[in-house]
Structure formats: structure tokens, C-alpha cells
Amino acid sequence: MHEPISEKKQKISNGITVLLAAACGLIVANLYYSQTLVGPISSDLGLPSGTAGLIVTLTQIGYVAGLLFIVPLSDMLENRRLVVSFLAIVVLALFGAAFSTGSVLFLAASLLIGASSVVAQILVPLAAFLSTEEQRGRVVGNVMSGLLLGIMLARPIASLITGIWGWQTIFVISAILMVLLAILLSRVLPERHPNKTLTYGELVVSLLKLFKKSPLLRRRSFYQACLFGAFSLFWTTAPLRLADEYGMTQQGIALFAFVGVAGAIAAPVAGRLADRNWTKHLTMGAIVIATLSFMLIALVHGKSDFSLVLLFIAAIALDMAVSGNLVVGQRVIYSLGNETRGRLNGIFMAIFFIGGAVGSFLGGLSYAYGGWIMSSWIGVLFPFLAFLYFLTEFKSEN
């Protein structure tokens, strides 16, 4: 029998931290399997090149909807049961994508995959809830490193499996993993019963109130939306460029995508430095690195080996910037309230993924009509907007 967690905190165990990190990684990977598979999926399902970006964009839109309308339930309902219930929906959506016979069915399944995969964003604030104030930055950093590894490994693994067995296989494998994960979490996770003070309708309406009264939430959300917009644009267009200009197969694209995994090391490091009040310095570093990464590949865009090496370097640097700033941002917003933590996280991640959806859509559209040069300069614009907003931070306290 699981005992409810009391408000008196004990340090979260390493075992639970590792489990939550692995669970978040496996769940959120569902959003990214299709990112390097835009070419083969759109070809098989008959999607024109100009709208191929919808494969990624609709998944992210679904995720945003889930963040706004599902994640608030974590401040109302028992968290473990909520997690297992939505994992069951993820399983159905993944099988729907795997056995789609047309683009409409696949895109609908993608939307549902995105919406139900928000269960990862119920687990992250749960990890923050289970940890003490002193260890919160480290715990969130470790859990987020698992989540970010899932994001970064999803792309190369999907490409490798597609090259061998076809793109449908990755969705079937993930569905089986979600079943196993649901069973494990139902047995291991402690219960968490929030102090229910609002109805569901009031919880959803309160999102706007929280957004209005939390300037730090608005600021951190905008930073991350801009960086994730650049990130999503890069990983939507880079595989297309590698295939078109360098003639890479899915296996070659997979090897390139593995490079991005190195960026996940920034998450735990950023978490520890954030615990030492380095928030502003880390934010500035992430924004500048992201801007320079895209500017570098926008200026040097030939088909040479040197250009390819720069693309590798940009992938690592961009992933590090996004993952590091994400952990810093989440630590800031988790300090804004305990009982509102699920909703604060939902707002933050919703705005963050709106940026990603915009980046994916503009990436697919700009690459189809303006090629890599147009896409890369749009990529520069995203973090540069964050930089301009960051300059206003010196007039306010962080």
C-alpha cells in the first residue's frame, strides 16, 4: 500500500530520481521520433513538401493543448493515477500512428500523441515536490537531463530503426515501452494528493491569472520559447539539408543526430550552477550561444566538409543552450509556488512548445520555398529576439 506524501519533505532517493528521469525521457521521445522522419513519412502518406512540417507541428500543438488543459489536473487529482491513465492514451495514439493508412489519420494520431505525452510534465513537478529546497535544482536538473536525453536520442534512434524496418516500427516499439512503463510507475511511484481548493474550470481559468501576476514566468517562458523555436527549426530542416545536399541516408542522419546528445550534459551542470544563483549568467550564455550557433551556419552554408563540421558544432552548441536554459527556467518557476507548481509548469511548457511549433512550421515552409539559407537566418532571429528581451532584465531583479 502506498502512503500519501506529506508536506514535510525528505530527500528524494536516487532510485526514484533515476526512474523519473528515464520515464520523462521515454515519454517525451514520442514527440520527436517523427522529426528526422519528415521525408519518408510525408513521402509514404502523400504530404506535399510545403506542409510536411505539419508532422512535427501538430504533435507540438497537441502538447501545448495538453499542457494547458491536462497538466492543471496535477494540482487537483492524485498524480500517480493521472500519470498511468494518460500513458494508456499514449499507447493507443502510438498504435494509431503506426498503422495509419493516410495523412489525415497519421496527423490526428500525432496530435493525440502530443496531447497525452504531457504526462512527462506531470512527473517533472512531482520530482520537484518530492525533493527538498536544497536539492531541488540538482533533482530537477537530473530529471530534465533524462527528459532531454529522450528528446535527443529519439531522433537518431528513429532514423536508425526506420533505415532497417521502416518508420512505422519506432511507433510500435514505443507503444510497447509505454505499456511497460505504466506498469512500473503504478507499482513504484508514491501517491501525491494535492490540496484541492479549486474546480477544474477554476484551475484552467487560473492559468491566465498566474501568467498575469508572474513576471518571472512570462520572462522565462519567452526566453525558452525563442530558444526552442530555433531548436525545432534546426532539427526540422537539418535532416532535409543532409539528405538533399550531402546525400545522407537515414543511417547517416541518425549518426548526425547522435551528436546532439552531447548537449544533454548541460542540464545537470546548469541545475547545480542555478542552485548557486548563477541564473542570469547562465541565461545570457545560453542565448548568446544559440544566436552565434545559427549565425555561424547561416554565414557558412556551402556543401564543403568544413560546412558540415560547422553544422555538427552548431547542433551540439544549440542543444546545450536549449537544455541548460530549460533547467534554469524551470528552477525559477518552481520557486514561485508549491500548490500552483503544476499549473506554472504547464504555462511555461505551453509557451515553450508554442515557440517550438512555430519553429517547426517556419522551418518546413522556409526550407521548401527558400532553402537552407532562408531557414538558417530565420533560426538566427529566434534567439536574437530573446537577447533583446534579456537586455531589459538589467532593469529588474531576477
Name the nearest CA neighbour of 61 among 362, 368, 364, 358: 358
Q: DSSP 3-state assignment of 304? A: coil
Count CA atoms within 13 Å of residue 97 on its CB side: 34
pLDDT in tens, 40-91: 888 888 877 667 778 888 998 999 899 888 988 887 888 899 999 999 999 9
Domain assignment present for residue 358? The answer is yes
Domain assignment present for residue 197? The answer is no
Domain assignment present for residue 326? The answer is yes
Q: DSSP 3-state assignment of 230? A: helix
Number of compact structural domains in the chain? 1
Gap between the Cα atoms of 334 and 341, Å rounded: 6
Q: What's the distance, Cα to Cα, between the start and end of the chain in Å?
A: 43
**pTM of the predicted model as reported, rounded to 2 decimal places:** 0.78
C-alpha cell at 171: 511507433
CATH of the domain at 31: 1.20.1250.20
User: What is the chain's Cα-based Rg?
Assistant: 20
Neighbours of 303 (CB within 10 A): 11
- Looking at mean pLDDT, say which of 47-61, 187-201, 352-366, 376-390 comes out highest: 376-390
Name the nearest CA neighbour of 313 among 326, 328, 295: 295
Domain assignment present for residue 89? The answer is yes
Domain assignment present for residue 202? The answer is no
pLDDT in tens, 218-277: 999 999 999 999 998 998 899 889 988 888 887 888 888 887 777 767 767 776 777 777
Domain assignment present for residue 108? The answer is yes
pLDDT above 90 (res 288): yes
* Mean pLDDT, the chain, whole residue set: 85
Domain assignment present for residue 198? The answer is no
pLDDT above 90 (res 360): no
pLDDT at residue number 5: 45
Domain assignment present for residue 332? The answer is yes
Residue numbers of the domain that contains 307: 14-190+210-395
| Confidence label for 1 from pLDDT (cuts 50, 70 and 90) | very low
Average pLDDT (323-335) is 83
Helices (H), the chain: 14-28, 38-45, 54-69, 79-98, 103-116, 120-130, 136-165, 168-188, 200-213, 215-246, 250-259, 266-274, 279-299, 305-334, 341-390
Gap between the Cα atoms of 55 and 295, Å rounded: 26
